[in-house]
Amino acid sequence: MKYSQIIGFLLALIVLGTCFFPWVFIESKQLTISGFHSEGTNFGRPAIFIFFTAGLSAIFFLINKIWAKRLNVFVTTFCFAWSISKYLMLSACYAGECPEKQIALFILVFASAIMMLMSFLPKININQK
């Protein structure tokens, strides 16, 4: 695709941005959990690895070298897998109570999936001799 690198870079920025928005709301404890703020739970900071991999993939989308495109496939796959993991962990029901999922959690999974797809379609200029 002609614009796969630009789309991938923009999606990496979207993934980075969704780490700061609320992901789930636990009504019984009145807790809002985002990627970096999950006080009152045992979740820690669920977005640190996602933030690292999305930032690294944004850099790799901008570099026009074959090694960057190959590493980007690896990095975006980890980002997508980790976002699926956090989606399943944070949206699971515990003791009969299901947390209320916010839109940023869905955007995180969707954007990281499309970002991974864009890393599979790099635009590489190959000189044929």
DSSP letters, 34-82, are ESS--TTSS---TTHHHHHHHHHHHHHHH--SHHHHHHHHHHHHHHHHH
Residue 128 included in any domain: no
Whole-number Cα distances in Å, 91 to 64, 78, 97: 38, 20, 10
The CA distance from 18 to 106, in Å, is 10
> What's the pLDDT at 35?
86
The domain of 70 spans 4-118
> What's the pLDDT at 110?
97
> What's the pLDDT at 94?
85
> What's the pLDDT at 55?
95
Contact 80, 116 (CB under 8 A): yes
> What's the pLDDT at 22?
93
Residue 123 included in any domain: no
The CA distance from 35 to 74, in Å, is 22
- Tell me if the pTM is above 0.85: yes
pLDDT tens track, the chain, 129 positions = 688 999 999 999 999 999 999 999 988 888 888 888 878 777 788 889 999 999 999 999 999 888 999 999 999 999 999 999 999 998 888 888 889 999 999 999 999 999 999 999 887 777 776
Whole-number Cα distances in Å, 26 to 6, 42, 43: 36, 13, 13
> What's the pLDDT at 107?
96
Count up the domains in the chain and report the number: 1
Residue 129 included in any domain: no
> What's the pLDDT at 14?
96
Residue 124 included in any domain: no
Contact 108, 15 (CB under 8 A): yes
Residue 97 included in any domain: yes
Contact 18, 108 (CB under 8 A): yes
Residue 59 included in any domain: yes
Residue 126 included in any domain: no
